[in-house]
Amino acid sequence: MSATGQMTGTVPNPAFDPYRATARAQGTIAPQGRFMLITAPAKINLYLGVHEGTGEDGYHRVDTVMTTLDLTDTLAIAPSDRLMVKTVPEADFPQESNTAYKAAVAMGKAFDREPNFAILIDKHIPIRAGLGGPSTDAAATIMGICRYWGVDPRDGRIDAVARSIGADVPFFLYGPPAHLDGRGDRMSELFRPLTGTPVALVKPMTGGVSTVEAYRRFDEAPVASGPLEPMLEAMRSHDEQAIFEHVSNNLAPIARELCPQIGEIVDWMREQPDVRAVDVCGSGATVFAVCNTQMAAEKIGIAAMKEHGWWAQAAKMEKTGPIIAVG
C-alpha cells in the first residue's frame, strides 16, 4: 500500500483497516457466555458511477467512493442455543431475510461451525434510504462472529462471505473512505478520513426507493456517470474543496423520477446556507448535504422536520467500521 492509502499488488482482505486502533484486537476470542455490543455506521456515496450494461454475472460495473458516518445501528450479540435475530423496532419481515441472519449463516458455512448466536439490532439507520443499514448490520455481525470464533478478519473467507451478502458489505469491514470497483464490492483504494465533516441527511418521512427498480429504470434509460478520476485525485491529495466539487451520483436522476419528493429535497437543500455539496445517497431515498459547520447541518435538519415534515438527521463523517465492546 502506498503512503496515500492506494492499494498496490495484491489487495488485502477488507477486514484489515490500517487506520483502526489495534487495541480493539479484532482477532482475539471473546469470553464465551458474554455478550458484545457493536456499533454499525451508516455511509454516504461521495461518488457513485453505475456503468451501462451488465457483465456475464448479470451485474453492472460500479465505481463508488464511500465514507462512514457517526449515525449508527447497535448490535448486541451473545452465544445461544440457536441462531435468532431481532430488531428494534420490530421488522416486518422474517428473520431469515435479515442480512445479519444471512451473514451468520454464511459464516457458519464458510468455517463449518454452527452460528448459534442471539442478535439484537437497535435500528437507527432507516431502511430503503441509501445509507447502507442492512449492509453495515451484516458487516458488524461478521466481525462479531470473528471475535467469538477467534477468526483473523484478514482471512480471505471473510471477504467472500461479505461479498456474498451484498455489494456494500465489504466496505463496512473497513474504516476510512474508500474507492470500490467491480460490482462496487471490490476494494481498490483507501483514503485519509474526512473525520468530523458535518453532513445533513434528509429524506421523505415514508416510502423509499427499491434498488432493483432503480437499476431497472437505469437500464431502460442509462445516465452517464460523472468523471471518476478528478474525485480520486482529490481524495488522494485530501483536497476537501475539490472533493466536494466532484460529488456525483448518476442514479440520482432515477431516484428523483421514482420518488419526486427526493427532487424536492435536493432542490431545497441546495438553497440552504453554508452547504458545500448536495446529492442523493445511493439509489435514495436520502439526500445528503455536506455543510460548512455542524450548526448549519443541525439547522437544515430542524427546518426539514418542522417546515416540511421530512425525516432528518445531522451527522458527521467518521473513520471507523464496526466498533466492538465486550460486555
Q: Which residues are catalytic?
A: 43, 168
156-165 vs 99-111: helix crossing angle, rounded to 10: 150
Residue 72's closest CA among 25, 131, 15? 131
Cis, bond preceding 89 (omega within 30 deg of 0): yes
CB 183 within 8 A of CB 288: no
| Cell, residue 195 | 473525520
CB 256 within 8 A of CB 279: no
Q: Quickly list H helices, the chain.
A: 99-111, 133-149, 156-165, 169-172, 211-220, 229-237, 240-245, 252-258, 260-270, 294-308
- Count CA atoms within 13 Å of residue 179 on its CB side: 20
- In DSSP terms, 75 is beta-bridged to 38, 121
Q: Tell me the C-alpha to C-alpha distance, in Å, between residue 160 and each of 29, 155, 207.
A: 21, 9, 32
Amino acid type, 242: A
| Cell, residue 39 | 456499533
**Whole-angstrom distance, CA of residue 89 vs CA of residue 86:** 9
